[in-house]
Amino acid sequence: MGGRKIAFLGTGLMGAPMVRRLLAAGFAVTAWNRDRSKAEPLAADGAIVADTAAEAARGTSVLFTMLTNGGAVGEVLFGSGVADALEIGAVVIDNSSIPPATAREHSFKLAERGIRHIDAPVSGGVVGAEAGTLAIMVGGDADVIDSVRDVMAPLGRVTRVGPSGTGQLAKLGNQQIVAVTIGAVAEAMLLVEAGGGSREAFRNAIRGGFAESRILELHGQRMIERSFEPGGTARIQLKDLDMILATASGLSLQLPLTETVRAEFAEFVENGGGELDHSALLQHLEDKNARGKA
């Protein structure tokens, strides 16, 4: 499509289905992953698998990164020769979830080399990545975003939030709402059940009302079934909350609800719940109340 060559760095749980979406849309994609075995299956879908990140970047006009954290993104871009391998005018689309300040720093350092950058974290999980229905929150210059909308279109819905770093701020806001809402649903279920009601009937009763949400729909069901195999872990939720509060501090903001939920997740993780799904905060609150009655 349009002769564009695309590189995709980081083909884990989210990256691999995103690469498949791009290939299915007709784009030529070179994929790289630190653990090559995670990239190799994409060759069967038509991807070229590169041995190094710099090799993947060479000659590409659009480069995606979907990596673990800000340190990993910085190391790949500036420590492994990727920024030097990219041509002037290339666009880096960072889908990783990293601190807003780190995203702005990467954008500035790439701009010095004549490379354009947007921060574009995503929400929607593996299901959204496979279906091409991700919510893509983008920070950066509007003209740069517009120049790569066609490339991002197979992945999901693109919304420009503002200048560099604000895509990451929107992702933090998303995680903030998720954490606080999980806490609210869990506490409401405790309240109803403690008074003799059924938490399943309670959830059914309020579905479609003012408290309806994806959290009530999906995580509320998990809480009823006590099915806490992780989609998103409590440990990662705590990491996000720590990043949110650090960012808020830098902006001289007080976020009392977020601080309270963060304290509960911290206690839950400290007590061994880190690898459970974040909806298992219910379990922590149950234990806390049981201890209070003992």
CATH code, 135: 3.40.50.720
Contact (CB, 8 A) for 96 and 68? yes
Domain stops at, among 129, 162, 195: 162
Confidence label for 3 from pLDDT (cuts 50, 70 and 90): low
- Domain match, 13 and 140 both: yes
- Domain match, 149 and 31 both: yes
- Domain match, 68 and 158 both: yes
Q: What is the mean pLDDT of residues 10-35?
A: 97
Domain stops at, among 132, 147, 162: 162
- Which residues have CB under 8 Å from 146's CB, separation 6+? none
Of the residues 5, 38, 109, 171, only one is catalytic, namely 171
109 part of the active site = no
Q: What is the pLDDT of residues 120-175, one digit of tens each?
A: 999 988 889 999 999 999 999 999 999 999 999 999 999 999 999 999 999 999 99
- Domain match, 123 and 37 both: yes
The CATH number linked to 261 is: 1.10.1040.10
- Domain match, 107 and 191 both: no
- What pTM value is reported for the model? 0.90
Of 1-5, 46-50, 285-289, the range with the lowest mean pLDDT is 1-5
Judged against a pLDDT cut of 50, whether residue 1 lies above it is answered with no
HEC letters along the chain: CCCCEEEEECCCCCHHHHHHHHHHCCCEEEEECCCHHHCHHHHHHCCEECCCHHHHHCCCCEEEECCCCHHHHHHHHHHCCHHHHCCCCCEEEECCCCCHHHHHHHHHHHHCCCCEEEECCEECHHHHHHHCCEEEEEECCHHHHHHCHHHHCCCEEEEEEECCCHHHHHHHHHHHHHHHHHHHHHHHHHHHHHCCCCHHHHHHHHCCCCCCCHHHHHHHHHHHHCCCCCCCEHHHHHHHHHHHHHHHHHCCCCCHHHHHHHHHHHHHHHHHHCCCEHHHHHHHHHHHHHHHHC
Domain stops at, among 162, 195, 220: 162
- Domain match, 260 and 117 both: no
Instruction: State residue 231's pLDDT score.
Output: 81
Q: What is the pLDDT of residues 175-219, one digit of tens each?
A: 999 999 999 999 999 999 999 999 999 999 999 999 999 999 999
- Domain match, 157 and 11 both: yes
Mean pLDDT of the chain: 96
Question: What domain count does the chain have?
Answer: 2
- Domain match, 153 and 178 both: no
- Domain match, 109 and 187 both: no
Backbone angles phi, psi at 98, to 5 degrees: -135, 165
- Domain match, 238 and 211 both: yes
Q: What is the pLDDT of residues 49-66, one digit of tens each?
A: 999 999 999 999 999 999
- Domain match, 139 and 180 both: no
Judged against a pLDDT cut of 90, whether residue 282 lies above it is answered with yes
Containing domain of residue 63, as a range?
Answer: 5-162
Of 63-67, 227-231, 272-276, 279-283, the range with the lowest mean pLDDT is 227-231
Q: What is the pLDDT of residues 75-122, one digit of tens each?
A: 999 999 999 999 999 999 999 999 999 999 999 999 999 999 999 999
Confidence label for 2 from pLDDT (cuts 50, 70 and 90): very low
- Domain match, 21 and 139 both: yes
